Structure 1
Amino acid sequence: MRPPLGVILAGGQATRMGGGDKALLELGDGTLLDQVIDRLEPQVTGLALNANGDPDRLARFGLPVLADSLEGFLGPLAGVLAGLDWAAEEGAEAVVTVAADTPFFPRDLVQRLTAAAAGQKVPLVLAATPDGRHPTFGLWPVTLRDDLRASLNAGLRKVVQWTDAHDGREALFDGADDPFFNVNTPEDLEKARKIFEGRV
């Protein structure tokens, strides 16, 4: 399999943060999104953002901005579909998605997702920790994009329900710290800032 493209999922509504663009909250000398780009960009052959609304607000990042192709804030699978449609236009075989509010995910994420897909006819892998799967972190095949579109139009919303139906696998990440810690609340943001300060 050729190296995948990367898609950062930033299409959520950030209701627990009071709305707005959670990815643009300050962390370190930039934003959450800057930290996510810094981690993912070296791992993939190209990068795009999945975000809804006016794309100009994200212009400074210099990345393609992919809106959900289906209306109604249908959840992360809609962002995955937008990424797969973009990847198809780019001639890619797969994408790896990450969440825009998770600034400490592994720097070998793509390598380990790809390794877990070895031998699969259709490479489909979600990241997991001992606590469970992390459905916004995954390796997704372009060949299933029409199936995903049909499933979303039929009302499916749960990521793991769709991946299980296609014999999706897991790539296990374990350790003392949660590599998929994400920022949902103001308290989480403060915690992220403390973690960041401790790492730089």
Structure 2
Amino acid sequence: MSKRLPAEKSTITALVLAGGKGRRMGGRDKGLLPYGDRLLVGHILEGVAPQVAGVLINANRHVDDYARFGHPVVADPIDGFQGPLAGFLAGLERTTTDYVLTLPCDGPHIVPDLVERLASAVNEAGADIAVAHDGERLQPVYALMHRDVLPSLRQALAAGERKIDRWYPLNTWVTADFSDCPQQFSNFNTPEEYARGDSRRLENGS
């Protein structure tokens, strides 16, 4: 096996996960919800694009709407809205870089050094995957993974696995510390959370 390239901006593609059905949001496509002067996914793209070599958007609905942002849109390669692992598969099969950074479409506050911290964790440990930890809990959708995990992911999905936290231990993985900024991982799963988040944004003038 050849020596891996280090995880750094030039070797990382971001994968914005917007492939869900939005069940808890009443079926609304969360990435396309307005938030301030743009859509939620627009905030994510603005925050993450400068940190990586390229961006992919994983979407199974409203593909044309996502394509307008100017990045390739990849659908889940397995049918039935099978969850984030199916989105991971879409990105890992499409990427041309050694690493994929995954993040959700409904978390508008991107840590400015998100990639730097995750990359440092992967490089220092020589791990397959680094996952963000906010000091209290794992943030499993915020992860950096090497494309060598692709066979493991395919095997897990073929066996019916759909839980991220049960797939990670099948690989070498570490956590990256974000305990100084847990609020940056706030996201919107329900209409109530979205309304509260938008109200706070208006109060803060952001």
TM over 0.5: yes
Residue of structure 1 in register with 2:14 after alignment:
6
Residue of structure 1 in register with 2:136 after alignment:
131
C-alpha distance in 1, partners of 2:125/2:89? Answer: 20
Alignment length (residue pairs): 197
Correspondence for 2:164 among 155, 159, 168: 159
Correspondence for 1:193 among 187, 190, 198: 198
Give the TM-score taking structure 1 as reference length. Answer: 0.92
| Structure 1 position 144 matched with structure 2 position 149 | yes
Q: Structure 1 vs Structure 2: percent identity of aligned residues?
A: 36
State the 1:199 CA deviation. 5.8
Correspondence for 1:65 among 55, 70, 73: 73
C-alpha distance in 2, partners of 1:95/1:157? Answer: 19
**SS of corresponding position for 1:85:** helix
Following TM superposition, the consecutive aligned residue runs of length 4 or more in structure 1 with deviations greater than 4 angstroms are: none
String of CA shifts for 1:86-135, please: whole Å, max 9, x gaps: 11xx2x10110110001113121111000111233443111111221111
- Between 98-107 and 158-167, the greater mean CA deviation after superposition: 158-167
C-alpha distance in 2, partners of 1:157/1:101? Answer: 20
Matches within 5 A, 1:72-91: 72-87=80-95, 90=96
Listed as ranges, the gaps of 5+ residues in structure 1 are none
**SS of corresponding position for 1:72:** coil
String of CA shifts for 1:48-77, please: whole Å, max 9, x gaps: 100113521323211110100112222111
Paired residue type of 1:196: R
Q: How large is the Cα RMSD of the aligned pairs? A: 1.6
Distance verdict in 2 for CA 1:54–1:102, change over 3 Å:
closer
Give the TM-score taking structure 2 as reference length. Answer: 0.89
Correspondence for 2:25 among 17, 21, 29: 17
C-alpha distance in 2, partners of 1:45/1:192? Answer: 30
* Aligned 8 A contact 2:25 2:189 in 1: yes
C-alpha distance in 1, partners of 2:76/2:176? Answer: 26
Residue of structure 2 in register with 1:109 after alignment:
114
C-alpha distance in 2, partners of 1:167/1:174? Answer: 22
Listed as ranges, the gaps of 5+ residues in structure 2 are 1-5
